[in-house]
Amino acid sequence: MNIKTIGILGSGQLGRMIAIAAAEMGVRAHIFAPDAIGSPAAEVAHSATEADYTDEAALKAFAASIDCVTSEFENVPAAAMRLLAEYFPASPGAEALHIAQNRLREKDLAKSLGIQTPAYSAIRSAGDLAAALQKLEGKAILKTTELGYDGKGQIRVSAEDSDAEALWAALKTPEAILEGFVDFTAEVSFLVWRDRDGKMGVFPPAQNLHKNGILAKSTAPAPDISANAIEAGNRAVCAIAEAVDLHGILAMEAFVTAEDTLIFNEIAPRPHNSFHWTIEGCVTSQFRQLVRIIAGFGAGDTSAKGEYVMENLLGEDLHRLESLYADGTKSVHLYGKTEARDGRKMGHVTYQL
């Protein structure tokens, strides 16, 4: 297959790292996003189109300039992916986007596949919330079903001290999900790749530490996760990939309990923050694997080269840059963002244990 240019929907750091991986393999990248011009992704890409994801004329012109397409985030409208799929195989596919864009659909899919989830209820009114709180045992988390990330759109609740009317008004959403609180001992993520012919495989899992709802550190291969939990996670993420007819890569976040039970949390059909360590730590990184799959080059070897740690660099961490650059054992990646804010992901650093 003669792939010269890949299209990337989205303009952030994931699009940037996909474009870098593509360039290293001799493939150009064309960024399409409402804020494409001057973005982190466009800065390292061959070309960029600034247009809304609902602009059919712009999407068709974009399709004429590329040979395949992928998305760097799951909130691209599924309709845009369906339109582009009329021209060539589109990654991750409309169904994968549709499921990942809504926490209720994610949980329902996992449950239908026999993957253990927290207890959960669909909430579409203050009355629904009041009824669910009455049945609640212990604590729970009330989440928006769409557009939540890095701990945003979430409120911790309990049956004893929660006012349903006030909570529903505060969340400002037409639909939410109330999830029973999981008393976990570890957080772990799994990453699967799958090509257009249905061949698939997995990366070594990552064990994660979050602070204030934002990923702080990933260690891989996950050091404190049992072989049974890893097998269960790999089996679950592969089942999800099959169910959504994935074309590309997909991450699944999960909890591990004291009883060594794996509990599903959420999915993301794109490169994932907890697998940035693969740039240095795997024979084929998550970004190169995505490019290889969508360009039809064939899958690469995703085995780990050793034990690695990835730490996110937030706006408040940039004072560490001088010492990090001075340490020749650490690999620093900055995302080209012009404004540093507390809690904003500005880059990451990777090092081998």
Beta strand pairing status for 308-314 and 345-352? Answer: antiparallel
Closest alpha carbon to 147 in 110, 113, 174, 120: 174
Instruction: Judge whether residue 64 has pLDDT over 70.
Output: yes
pLDDT band at 223 (very low <50, low <70, confident <90, very high): very high
Using only C-alpha atoms, the chain has a radius of gyration, in whole angstroms, of: 20
Q: Which pLDDT score, from 0 to 100, does residue 352 have?
A: 97
Contact between 140 and 134 under an 8 Å Cβ cutoff? The reply is no
Spell out the CATH class of 184-352.
alpha beta
What CATH number does domain 5-90 carry, 3.40.50.20, 3.40.47.10, 3.50.50.60, 3.30.70.360? 3.40.50.20
Average pLDDT over residues 289-297: 96
Q: What per-residue confidence (pLDDT) applies to 167?
A: 86
**CA separation for the pair 94, 82 (Å, rounded):** 6
23-27, 176-180, 322-326, 346-350 — which is least confidently predicted? 176-180
* CATH of the structural domain 119-180, one choice from 2.60.40.10, 3.30.1490.20, 3.30.300.20, 3.30.565.10: 3.30.1490.20
Q: What are residue 8's DSSP bridge partners?
A: 31, 70
Q: Are 310 and 271 in contact (CB under 8 A)?
A: no
Lowest average pLDDT, out of 68-77, 164-173, 178-187, goes to 164-173
* Separation CA 164–CA 131 (nearest Å): 9
Long-range contacts of 226-235 (CB under 8 A, 24+ apart): 226/256, 226/260, 228/260, 229/188, 229/256, 229/260, 229/261, 229/262, 230/188, 230/205, 232/262, 233/188, 233/190, 233/205, 233/262, 234/190, 234/192, 234/202, 234/205
pLDDT > 60? residue 254: yes
Per-domain boundaries in the chain = 5-90, 119-180, 184-352
Read off the pLDDT of residues 305-317 as tens digits, 9 standing for 90 and up: 999 999 999 999 9
